[in-house]
Amino acid sequence: MDTELLLGIGRFLLATTLLLLLTVPTAFVIIQMELKVIARMNLRLGPNRVGPGGLFQSTIHGFKVLAKEDTIPDQADNTTFTLAPWMVYMAAAMSMIVMPFAPGAIAADFSIGIVYFFAVIGLSVVGLLVAGWASYNKYSLLGGLRSAAQMVSYEIPLTLSVVGAVVLAGTLSFSELIGWQREHGWLFIWQPVGLVIFYIASLAEINRTPFDMIEADSELVAGPFTEYSGMRFGFFFFAEYVALFIMSGILISLFFGGWLAPWPFPAQLDGFAGTLWGILWFFLKTYIFVFVAVWLRATLPRVRVDQLMGMAWKVMLPIALVNLFITAIVVVVFDL
Amino acid sequence: MRLLTERLGSRARDLWTDEDTVEIQVDGAANVEVLRTLRDDPDLEFFFLTDAGAVDYGIDAHFEVVYHLFSWKHPAWLRVRARVRRDDPRIPTVTDLWEGAMFHEREMYDMMGIVFEGNRDLRRIYMSPDYRSFPQRRDFVLPDDAADSAAAGVNPLERPETWDLERFRQAPGVTFPPSEFRPDAPAEGPPSGVQDGRTLADKSRPR
Amino acid sequence: MTTTERPQPIPDPIDLDRAEEARLRTAAGLSLSVTQRRGEYAGFEDIGLPDRPPQTEREAEVYTLDEGEMLLNMGPQHPSTHGVMRLVVKLRGEVIVDIDPVLGYLHRGIEKLCENATYTTVMTYVDPMDYLAVMHNEHAPAMAFEKLYGIEAPKRAEYIRALVVELERVASHGLMMGFLSLDMGGLTPILYAFINRDEVVDLLSAISGQRMLFNFFRIGGVNWDVNDEFLSRLGTWRSHVLKNIEMNEHLITDNEIFRGRTIGMGVLSGRDAIALGVSGPNLRASGVAFDVRKAHPYSIYRELEFDLITQESGDVYARYLQRIAEIKQSIHLIDQIIDRMPHGPVQAQVPGIVRPRPGRAYAAVESPRGLYSVYAISDGGPTPYRFRMRDPSFISLQALPKLMPGHLVADTMAVMASFDPVMGGVDK
């Protein structure tokens, strides 16, 4: 066997293991942010007893979720009921392998990384739909159908908003896109409309407020997750926050320079220091956008399902298309 | 108000007024006509039904359905007391005049057992649908094991020797409203926990 | 000696209970419950539905399912049905076709309890009815009993009554703002509303000693006079309340998502509202200028000047705006009351009068939810002969089956929150 192939497989396995290990602490950190940040925005304290200043609250939540009784409804379909959380989590985990953390620190640097990403992130729809159906519960069914409709509708503006950036950069690979941004400036200047559409569609795609009506707990208890308890619910819960992290990471990779440092700093260093530098800036920028998402959750009420759909198809899709056409025309005319 | 005697004629009896309320009494069967006149007559115009409640005047006496009305043109509340027989408590419904009387009538049916003829939805509203008794009646007795409890006797309702079950047993029950939807409904009777004038207190364990 | 027989399986206790229940039900002549009839054609779905044939026309109408319809139980345990209420919703997909509120989960038999309670004890019984606007619950019986006793509360007592009543109104309406937003997913305004309510509740605890169920009114006045603590807290509160309210409503009123979800929803026309018996801010938001404080003035409202505010559209947004306007109006009223409060006793002298004369009395007040009235009959004894309360939330719930069909499930909560029912009052 090829040593290169073996080394490649070994590297890939190591990378995916590290990524999977990364997801859980990420989820913990983001949940902790939600607890404390939303609490402060609500003029209350948030958890402050577990650990110094309440820092370990979400970790304990994670362990608590492991300790809960695992119930399956009597007439639920066991196989699909069990598979649903895996599907959602795997969609998130699989899409992480193309996330550009640092130059050379991408688990799988596909040349069609962007296409791969959007293809895989849509698999979570299947998981939610299956969860809704397999629970044998009308609330879950309603939630699952709502989520399928919502996520499928918003995938189109999501992908279309990115195509403008792709056309400009001329590449579908994340690392090359970031390389283009290093030379020509960050893409949010070139594609502001694309950025806005992408941000809104990404929030809708990962079911964050103001688009979280599938888990609208004032109407449908917990949507497709109603019958899930214990670690199964934990999977869904983590998957949502990991997806938030992933979407923010992709957002900054596409529009805000990925691992590049902003102006006064050197954009990219070499070698191991370069990797660390890239990781630092990547996480910093990602968490800024995660914070914005949490901020939106604290502030905005929920959009209703039909208004959501109307917005996706009647507003965002046309704008994304127009953006794409204009970008394409500009690229051809100015021969960029 | 003199207007009332004019418009309602002989149907309104026993006018009574103080500075705040005017009260008339009508017979049960005439309540819809009276209320309709009160509502539609341009000088009276009692457009708002503020309250509809029921009073039980005792086992030997009658029920009363009491309506309170409001009009812009008259400063006082108008109280219409409609007398209903106790042994056959039926009275026409006013839901044709005010849809909001529906819940009032359901409550009166639930609590007192007054049947509103013509009401499309005469179900129990507070108690569970298979409840057999009418809680706000004067002779309502809850046969539970309160008699055996250590605190028995504090409240007269808890002392069985004060219950006049003779009259309770003899009071005929009210059947569910006759409708095509329940042709074979069981006849209403005393609740299942009362037998031979004694309550079926549970002696199976010490209290 | 061992036998080759298998040992008798120990029956599971839950099977024993089920068998016992089945036996008791059959003995009592009741039908078996749905779970016991599983496998037999029951004709109905077994999710929270009546397990017996429909008893009334309306019941048949609601619980008969056409093609593509389903029944969803927004059950008594639900994060936001304002208490324990069950809404059986008939859905076609996501669109509501019919709705049937099932009440009684919080029924405590207060009316019957009050027949065994002395006139002073009745004040404690009526407190937990509408537990968010407690002073109004006490105001109406106090007025009714004063008519029966034939005594009048002194002026200062009336002013204090009006003061606490308007304070309670501010707190309650502010809370409605919060709940409306919470039911739509906004997590923040509810906490701001509770801050406002907390301030008012601290204020009222300085005067009555309780934070929620005040037991403050007496027949012939109020229990305690204002004290320094109350006045100082009132001053602090008054200095920042308008700013707070405006800050809070700023978060919601111009929010595009909120407006998109509330404008045009649950439109109640004025004439429907009157026919349904809806009163209070809900009625005024539909354009009918009916306020008990103006229509049949009680207490000192004849001497206070305030405008009657109405809104034209009867939708959820209008009901929300109406309540905000009423908060400001109440603050204006509080200012007038504080200015004009006379000196004097706070409780009428009722020496030796324990029992009222036989008679009937009716008193209605304007509670934050509508017209709350008490009809009391006295027979000369120490306890009322009949004590009937008419709660506005109870009657407003009848509007739901009228308004909801055609909207989506998500709007149920918005419309219900806009009517601001409190289950304690609904179920008495």
- Domain CATH code at residue C190: 1.10.645.10
Strand ordering across the sheet containing B21-27 = B13-17, B21-27, B74-84, B63-71, B48-56
User: What is the reported pLDDT for B179?
Assistant: 45
User: What is the reported pLDDT for B176?
Assistant: 41
Closest Cα in chain C, distance from residue B4 (Å): 20
Quick one: pLDDT band at residue C414, thresholds 50, 70, 90? Answer: confident
State the Cα–Cα distance between residues A57 and B36, nearest whole angstrom. 65
Per the listing, tokens 């289950």 go with C423
Residues of A in contact with C187 (CB under 8 A): 38, 42, 297-298
Cβ–Cβ contact A304 with C under 8 A: yes
Instruction: Give the model confidence (pLDDT) of A149-158 as tens digits.
Output: 888 889 999 9
Which chain B residue's Cα is nearest to C114? B136
Output b/e per residue, C14-38; b: 16+ Cβ within 10 A: eeeeeeeeeeeeeeeeeebebebee
Strands B115-117 and B90-92: parallel
Residues of chain C with pLDDT > 90, as a percent, come to 23
Task: Read off the pLDDT of each residue in C202-215 and give the average, rounded to a whole number.
Answer: 89
Q: What is the pLDDT along chain B (207 residues), one digit of tens a residue?
A: 666 666 665 566 667 666 677 788 888 788 888 888 888 877 778 889 999 999 988 777 888 899 999 888 887 888 888 888 877 788 889 988 898 899 999 999 888 888 888 888 888 888 876 666 778 887 776 644 444 444 444 454 445 555 555 544 444 443 344 445 555 444 444 444 444 444 444 444 443
User: What is the reported pLDDT for C11?
Assistant: 61
Report the sign of the C-alpha dihedral through residues C115, C118, C119, C121, in that order.
negative
Cα torsion at B180, B185, B191, B195 (round to 10°)?
150
Query: What are the helix and strand counts (H, E) for chain B?
Result: 4, 9
* Containing structural domain, residue C194: 110-347+360-427
Chains adjacent to B (≥3 CB pairs closer than 8 angstroms)? C
Whether A contacts C, i.e. 3 or more CB pairs less than 8 A apart, is yes
Which chain A residue's Cα is nearest to C193? A42
Q: What is the 3-state secondary structure (H, E, C) of B106-174?
A: HHHHHHHCCEEECCCCCCCCCCCCCCCCCCCCCCCCCCCHHHHCCCCCCCHHHCHHHCCHHHHHHCCCC
Residues of chain C with pLDDT > 70, as a percent, come to 86
Q: Is the pLDDT of residue C261 over 50?
A: yes
Beta carbons of B47 and C427 less than 8 Å apart: no
Instruction: Say how many CB pairs under 8 Å bridge A and C.
Output: 83
For residue C90, the cross-strand partners are C71, C98
**Number of domains into which chain C is organized:** 1
- Chain C (297-356) residues lying within 8 Å, Cβ to Cβ, of chain B: none
User: What is the reported pLDDT for C31?
Assistant: 59
In what helix (H) or strand (E) does residue B74 lie, and over which residues does it extend?
strand B74-84
User: What is the reported pLDDT for B161?
Assistant: 58
User: What is the reported pLDDT for C244?
Assistant: 87
Instruction: Give the model confidence (pLDDT) of A230-243 as tens digits.
Output: 888 888 888 889 99
Q: Which residue has the higher pLDDT, C366 or A263?
A: C366
Beta carbons of B125 and C104 less than 8 Å apart: yes
Quick one: pLDDT band at residue C352, thresholds 50, 70, 90? Answer: low
In chain B, ranges of CATH 3.30.460.80 domains = 1-134
The answer to whether B101 touches B49, Cβ cutoff 8 Å, is yes
Beta carbons of A302 and C185 less than 8 Å apart: yes
Q: Which residue has the higher pLDDT, A105 or C423?
A: C423
Q: Is the pLDDT of residue A85 over 60?
A: yes
Among candidate residues A126, A114, A86, A118, the one with its CA nearest the CA of residue A175: A114
State the Cα–Cα distance between residues B53 and B112, nearest whole angstrom. 10
Q: Please name the member of B103, B130, B181 whose beta carbon is closest to the beta carbon of C398.
A: B103
Q: Is the pLDDT of residue C169 over 90?
A: yes
Mean pLDDT of all residues belonging to chain C:
83
In a domain? residue C120? yes
SS3 C88: strand
User: What is the reported pLDDT for B118?
Assistant: 83
Closest Cα in chain A, distance from residue C39 (Å): 14
Closest Cα in chain C, distance from residue A162 (Å): 26
In a domain? residue C387? yes
User: What is the reported pLDDT for A138?
Assistant: 72
Q: Is the pLDDT of residue A160 over 70?
A: yes
The answer to whether C375 touches B68, Cβ cutoff 8 Å, is yes
In a domain? residue C233? yes
Q: Which residue has the higher pLDDT, A334 or B182?
A: A334
The answer to whether A148 touches A83, Cβ cutoff 8 Å, is no
Instruction: Give the model confidence (pLDDT) of A129-148 as tens digits.
Output: 898 888 887 777 877 887 88
State the Cα–Cα distance between residues B26 and B8, nearest whole angstrom. 10
For residue B84, the cross-strand partners are B63
Per the listing, tokens 């283009």 go with A180
Q: What is the ipTM of this complex?
A: 0.81
Which chain C residue's Cα is nearest to A138? C72
In a domain? residue C50? no
User: What is the reported pLDDT for C375?
Assistant: 93
SS3 C309: coil
The answer to whether C47 touches C89, Cβ cutoff 8 Å, is no
Beta carbons of A41 and C188 less than 8 Å apart: yes
User: What is the reported pLDDT for C5?
Assistant: 52
Quick one: pLDDT band at residue C45, thresholds 50, 70, 90? Answer: very low
Which chain C residue's Cα is nearest to A208? C185
Instruction: Give the model confidence (pLDDT) of C7-31 as tens digits.
Output: 666 666 656 666 777 777 777 666 5
Give the right CATH number for B1-134 from 3.30.565.10, 3.30.460.80, 3.10.180.10, 3.40.50.720.
3.30.460.80
For residue B9, the cross-strand partners are none
- Chain C (139-198) residues lying within 8 Å, Cβ to Cβ, of chain A: 181-188, 191-192, 195
Q: Is the pLDDT of residue A188 over 60?
A: yes
Closest Cα in chain C, distance from residue A78 (Å): 21
Phi then psi dihedrals of residue C367, to 5 deg: -90, 165
The answer to whether C197 touches C171, Cβ cutoff 8 Å, is yes
Lowest mean pLDDT among A20-29, B160-169, C120-129: B160-169
Long-range (24+ apart) CB contacts under 8 A made by C30-36 are C30/B130
For an interface test with C, which of B19, B46, B47, B48 has the most C Cβ atoms less than 10 Å from its Cβ?
Answer: B48
Lowest mean pLDDT among A113-117, C81-85, C210-214, C380-384: C81-85
Which chain C residue's Cα is nearest to A139? C72
Residue A135, amino acid: S
The answer to whether B125 touches B102, Cβ cutoff 8 Å, is no
Chains adjacent to A (≥3 CB pairs closer than 8 angstroms)? C
In a domain? residue C224? yes
Q: Cα separations (Å) of A287 from A30, A158, C388?
A: 9, 20, 60
